[in-house]
């Protein structure tokens, strides 16, 4: 039988929605017993949220002042210490999970399955490679612990009708002091979160400047949407890095994705493949984005977007 440990992603007070998707993934393994571990200074609030997730039977709270900040070097040895007895250890493919889980895997002496996108059975999974140009089925040895990060865009979050028991877990592990947290500069925004928004409006290089990118923000606000961007728009400094969508940015699955002035490079497309409906607005009718768009509109964004904005009023 599978016994799965999921490492919660949180900010100290709120459980990241990615963790609920991770639970949904684990729950696709038949008969799995699912536990969620919370590494925090005081994980009470997060534990309460995790205990409400369907399919979770136990929440382990690992409170320690050293766990105040999400440092992989600090948390990995503690995960390793409680991993014994589990068949699988999963984390979300968030920057926290991507940073932490391979360190855990190496300490456990195993490889990691990155970006797990489909469960075939307890030891057989699918994952994307080559920027999503190929999907590979992998088999992890049944006599080893399976460590994986879960591609959250591939799973629908677990429901919230659960009531798992919450336990305090005492962990003995040597915690290094060679890695110290200084600060987090988080982009402040009242807009829906890019990773969970049902509608996302993204802008590309065509916007031309940070000032003109306001067009994208305005349209997003009219739609109650989150905002994303291509790498070119981020590199050019129109928007901060956390808005990048794609192979090396965020992988998202909104119901509606509107790409404006984005050419549709494979590295961008790989981040939006799971969107419900893709709309593309681009002045070049041969732009590759039109090959995958459900609704295409050929036109100059500087006239189309204000017009669309007006039409939404």
Ligand X SMILES: Cc1cc2nc3c(=O)[nH]c(=O)nc-3n(C[C@H](O)[C@H](O)[C@H](O)COP(=O)(O)OP(=O)(O)OC[C@H]3O[C@@H](n4cnc5c(N)ncnc54)[C@H](O)[C@@H]3O)c2cc1C
Positions in the binding site for ligand X (CB under 6 A): 204-206, 230-233, 244-249, 261-263, 265, 267-268, 271, 282-284, 287, 300-302
**Which residues 294-313 are close enough to bind another protein by CB under 8 A?**
294-299, 304, 307-308, 311-312
Residue 244's region, left for phi above 0, alpha for psi from -120 to 50, else beta, is beta
Least distance in angstroms from the C-beta of 42 to another protein: 20
Contact partner at residue 233 from another protein, ligand X, none, CB < 5 to 8 Å by partner kind: ligand X
Stretch that binds another protein, among 21-29, 41-49, 104-112, 162-170 (CB under 8 A): 104-112
- Alpha carbon distance 259, 203 (integer Å): 6
Shortest reach from residue 258's CB to ligand X, in Å: 12
Answer for which of 17, 66, 106, 175 binds another protein (CB under 8 A) is 106
Among residues 33 and 218, whose Cβ is nearest to another protein? 218
**Whole-angstrom distance, CA of residue 69 vs CA of residue 217:** 31
Alpha-carbon gap, residue 17 to 9, rounded angstroms: 8
| Dist. CA 104–CA 89, nearest whole Å | 9
Could you give the CA distance from residue 84 to residue 17 in angstroms, rounded to a whole number?
26
Q: Which of residues 36-95 bind another protein (CB under 8 A)?
A: 71-73, 76, 94-95
Closer CB to ligand X, 131 or 157, in the complex: 131
Cβ atoms of 267 and 234 closer than 8 Å = no
Interacting residues with another protein between 112 and 131 (CB under 8 A): 112-115, 124, 128-131
Q: Determine the straight-line distance between the first and last CA of the chain, rounded to whole angstroms.
A: 55
- Residues numbered 244 to 283 that lie near another protein (CB under 8 A) are 247-248, 250, 255-256, 266-267, 273, 277-279
In DSSP terms, 279 is beta-bridged to 258, 295
Taking CB under 8 A as the rule, does residue 236 contact another protein? Answer: no
Q: CB of residue 11 vs another protein: minimum separation in angstroms? A: 8
CB of 252 to ligand X, least distance (A): 11
Site for another protein (CB under 8 A): how many residues?
A: 86
Give the nearer residue to ligand X in terms of CB position, either 140 or 247.
Answer: 247
Which whole-number Å values give the CA distances from 69 to 15, 39, 308, in the listed order? 14, 9, 43
CB-based contact 260:206 (threshold 8 Å): yes
By CB under 8 A, tell whether 142 contacts another protein: no
Buried-exposed string 118-129: b where 16+ CB fall within 10 A, e elsewhere: bbeebbebbbbe
| Alpha-carbon separation of residue 284 from 262, 276, 296 (angstroms) | 10, 23, 11
Applying the rule CB under 8 A, the residues between 180 and 199 that interact with another protein are 180-187, 195, 199
């Amino acid at each position: 039988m599978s016994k799965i440990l999921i490492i919660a992603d949180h900010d100290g007070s709120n459980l990241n929605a990615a963790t609920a998707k991770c639970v949904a993934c684990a729950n696709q393994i038949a008969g799995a017993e699912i536990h969620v571990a919370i590494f925090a200074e005081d994980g009470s609030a997060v534990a309460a949220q995790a205990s409400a997730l369907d399919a979770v039977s136990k929440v382990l709270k690992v409170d320690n002042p050293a766990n105040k900040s999400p440092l992989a070097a600090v948390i990995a040895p503690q995960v390793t210490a409680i991993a014994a007895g589990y068949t699988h250890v999963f984390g979300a493919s968030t920057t926290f999970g991507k940073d932490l889980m391979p360190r855990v895997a190496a300490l456990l002496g195993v490889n990691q399955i990155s970006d797990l996108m489909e469960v075939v059975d307890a030891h057989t999974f699918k994952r994307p490679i080559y920027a999503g140009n190929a999907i590979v089925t992998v088999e992890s040895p049944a006599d080893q612990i399976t460590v994986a990060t879960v591609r959250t865009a591939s799973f629908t979050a677990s429901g919230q009708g659960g009531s798992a028991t919450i336990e305090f877990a005492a962990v003995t592990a040597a915690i290094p002091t060679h890695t110290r947290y200084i600060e987090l500069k988080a982009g402040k925004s009242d807009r829906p979160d890019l990773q969970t928004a049902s509608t996302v409006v993204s802008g590309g290089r065509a916007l031309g400047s940070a000032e003109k990118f306001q067009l994208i923000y305005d349209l997003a606000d009219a739609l109650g949407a989150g905002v994303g961007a291509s790498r070119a728009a981020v590199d050019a400094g129109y928007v901060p890095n956390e808005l990048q969508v794609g192979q090396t940015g965020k992988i998202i699955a909104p119901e509606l994705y509107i790409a404006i002035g984005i050419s549709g490079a494979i590295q961008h497309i790989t981040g939006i493949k799971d969107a419900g409906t893709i709309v593309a607005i681009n002045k070049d009718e041969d732009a590759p984005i039109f090959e995958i768009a459900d609704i295409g509109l050929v036109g100059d964004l500087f006239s189309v977007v204000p017009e669309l904005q007006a039409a939404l009023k």
